[in-house]
Amino acid sequence: MTDPFDKNVNRRKFLGTSGVLATSVAIASEKEDLILPKVKEPRATSGDIAVDPDWNEKLTFDVGVKKGAIVGNDDKAIQAAVDYLSRFGGGTVRLSEGTYHLRNAIHLNNHVRIVGSGPDTVLFKSPMVKTKILVDSDWYDQEITLVDSSGFKVGDGVCLRCKNPHNGGNTVIKRTLVAKSGNRFKLDKALRENLWLMSDSYAATLFPLVTGEFIHGFAIENLTIDGNRGNNENLDGNHAGCIFLQDCRDVKIRKVIARNNNGDGISWQICHDVSVEQCQSHHHAGLGMHPGSGSQRPLMKSNVLTNNDIGIFFCWGVKYGLASDNIIEGNRIGISVGHRDTDNVIIGNHVRESGKSGILFRAERGKAFAGHNNLLEKNIIENTGGPDSIAIDVEGETEGLKFVENKLVEKRGSEKRVGFRFGPKTGQMILTSNTMEGFATPILDQRKKN
């Protein structure tokens, strides 16, 4: 009988099988180009979301101000349709023309499309109501007490804000009021943060107008979203926007007009494969488009972004994205790229009349954090900022950028204006066939020469 623990025997067995293993590896390597057979006749199969038949008719729910399966002009009518379709795995909410007054966000769900009838389908943010918190609430509480509850209603979306009593930072909590007694309101979820009087705590009816969190495969199309900027406080793009998405994937936003928000226009955070096409985003206090932290493969194509603080803001770690054929006009900064935003393509955009910079690569906090290895090709940067402005400004320790066939134009006189500026710590760049017209200094290279 052979001892199974005999080292010599085990070694002999291994050597004996090694030839077979080598042959198997060789055969496998010859078949690396093989792929799965193509699905010729798709069938609806339990649990299979990769392949689905192309059905001629899908579940649709009509909502209208005057007629529809649901008749109404507020967020509740639209939300009822979304929730109904969600029961059956998705479908299309079709909105007729008219103005829908929102006191809470429209919360989307998996595989639900919300489609308007054009620019005259308007989702309009109601004026903000604000009051201080009257009674301390701890992180485990699911209710708040307000000093003045007269402007608040059950069903309202609210933003609860204070200074964090432990570290002095800003605390932002988004909730819905679901019940009330006098000036006490129950929340849809517990606070999970301390909301204390000593921290200057208050409640305001602030919320993103259309939103989704931890969902996928949905679309927003063919309508107008108005943030009513003059009647609402600022709530930045890490929390809200005309459209605000968090931890989503496979999203299509098409032919949407996002306007007049006291915050961002269209913001998505840690969202992957988001496409924004043929949209307008204008007159926002914040960012026209905000591909947010960690978002992979964003597509921003054929949009018009005007009169915002920044047109397109690549946030942290945005990679493998495409910004193509956009008109970006009248923003303080046209396009901003920074913290680990790498391997993106910015091509064919017309960036004009920016207040400070046409395209900015932010300094960040060191080489490891900079926005390296991006391609900028065939963009037009026109009439940027004041008399000492910079059309394309590369700061910090950014390197590996490729500038190909871009056209930098200044038609208002050269003054002290600069085309390209490369800061003292920036690294190697590749410039090919770019043109610069009307600048006092076409290229200002502040890097130390070896």
For 256-308, write each residue's pLDDT tens digit. 999 999 999 999 999 999 999 999 999 999 999 999 999 999 999 999 999 99
Instruction: Write b or e for each residue in 86-125: b if 16 or more Cβ atoms lie within 10 A of its Cβ, otherwise e.
Output: beeebbbbbbbebebebbbbbbbbbbbbbbbeeeebbbbb
The residue with tokens 């590369």 is 394
Residue 104, C-beta contacts closer than 8 angstroms, at least 6 positions apart: 75, 76, 79, 155, 156, 157, 176, 207
pLDDT at 61 over 50: yes
Specify the DSSP element, H or E, that contains 83.
helix 75-87
Q: Would residue 159 be called left, alpha or beta, if left means φ above 0 and alpha means ψ between -120 and 50 degrees?
A: beta
pLDDT value, residue 416: 97
Structure token digits, residue 326: 């956009």
Strand partners, 67: none
- Provide the Cα torsion 66, 69, 70, 75; round to 10°: -100
Beta strand residue intervals within 148-215, DSSP E: 157-163, 170-181, 184-187, 202-204, 210-213
pLDDT value, residue 50: 82
User: How confident is the prediction for the chain on average, in pLDDT?
Assistant: 93
For residue 337, the one-letter residue type is V
Specify the DSSP element, H or E, that contains 252.
strand 249-259
pLDDT value, residue 110: 97
The CATH number, out of the four listed (3.40.190.290, 3.40.1180.10, 2.160.20.10, 1.10.3720.10), of the domain defined by the range 95-126+206-445: 2.160.20.10
For residue 346, the one-letter residue type is I
pLDDT at 22 over 80: no
Strand partners, 382: 352, 409
Pairing state between β 418-422 and 299-301 = unpaired
Nearest to 106 by CA among 215, 250, 185, 189: 215
Over residues 182-210, mean pLDDT: 96
For the chain, what are the domain ranges?
95-126+206-445, 130-204
Q: How far is CA 159 from CA 112, 147, 155, 403, in A?
A: 26, 15, 13, 43
Burial class for 214, CB neighbours closer than 10 Å (0-12, 13-18, 19+): exposed
pLDDT value, residue 51: 86
Over residues 326-342, the pLDDT tens digits come to 999 999 999 999 999 99
Flag the least confident range among 119-133, 159-173, 225-239, 296-310.
159-173
Q: Report percent pLDDT > 90 for the chain.
A: 86
pLDDT value, residue 13: 46
| DSSP helix/strand/coil, 206 | coil
Contact 378, 348 (CB under 8 A): yes
Over residues 139-147, mean pLDDT: 97
Task: Please tell me the distance from the alpha carbon of residue 216 to that of residue 232, in angstroms, as a whole number.
Answer: 30
Strand partners, 102: 125
For residue 178, the one-letter residue type is V
The residue with tokens 């025997």 is 9
CATH class of 130-204: mainly beta
Flag the least confident range among 9-18, 124-133, 196-205, 210-219.
9-18
Contact 432, 404 (CB under 8 A): yes
pLDDT value, residue 392: 98
Neighbours of 407 (CB within 10 A): 16
Neighbours of 197 (CB within 10 A): 13
Structure token digits, residue 119: 């620019």
pLDDT at 444 over 90: yes
pLDDT value, residue 32: 67
The residue with tokens 């009021």 is 177
pLDDT value, residue 48: 86
pLDDT value, residue 150: 95
User: DSSP state, 51?
Assistant: -
Nearest to 341 by CA among 294, 272, 288: 294
pTM of the model: 0.91
Flag the least confident range among 12-21, 58-67, 72-81.
12-21
Task: Please tell me the distance from the alpha carbon of residue 274 to that of residue 287, in angstroms, as a whole number.
Answer: 17
Edge-to-edge strand list for the sheet holding 143-145 = 130-132, 202-204, 157-163, 170-181, 184-187, 143-145
DSSP of 28-44: HHHTTT--PPP-SS---
Over residues 69-111, the pLDDT tens digits come to 999 999 999 999 999 999 999 999 999 999 999 999 999 999 9
| Alpha helices (H) along 163-235 | none
pLDDT at 25 over 70: no
DSSP of 345-359: EEES-EEES-SSEEE
Over residues 102-130, mean pLDDT: 98
pLDDT at 1 over 60: no
Tell me the backbone φ, ψ of residue 106, rounded to 5 degrees. Answer: -85, 115
Structure token digits, residue 247: 């931890």
pLDDT value, residue 410: 97
